[in-house]
């Protein structure tokens, strides 16, 4: 195998390991967090809402259907925080 082939193979292997590690850590991360609605700053939401097409597109602070991930158990402690989306 040529040096270029060995380098490409090593790079592909490293990228595969990094991607797998990211998937594993994401699962553990998500289990320790919860979606908290109504507390995201404008443009800081984590995902699509009824009125915003994708992450980072909420239009106002505290938009009731926009959420962010917070550590599990903290949403109820945040002013305006809710575990379910609401209108308004």
Residue 34 is predicted with a pLDDT of 95
Entry pTM: 0.59
Token digits of residue 80 = 């305006």
Confidence band (pLDDT; 50, 70, 90) for 80? Answer: very high
Q: Which long-range contacts (CB under 8 A, 24 or more apart) does 22-30 make?
A: 30/69
**Which spans in the chain are helix H?**
3-31
CA–CA distance, 50 with 64 (Å, rounded to integer): 10
pLDDT-above-90 percentage for the chain: 32
Entry field: residues in the chain? 88
pLDDT tens track for 51-62: 767 788 888 899
């Amino acid at each position: 195998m040529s040096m270029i082939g060995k380098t490409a193979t090593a790079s592909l292997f490293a990228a595969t390991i990094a991607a797998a590690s990211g998937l594993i850590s994401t699962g553990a991360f998500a289990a320790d967090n919860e979606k908290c609605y109504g507390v995201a700053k404008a443009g800081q939401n984590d995902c699509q809402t009824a009125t915003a097409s994708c992450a980072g597109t909420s239009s106002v602070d505290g938009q009731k259907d926009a959420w962010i991930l917070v550590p599990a158990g903290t949403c109820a402690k945040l002013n305006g925080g809710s575990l379910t989306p609401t209108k308004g």
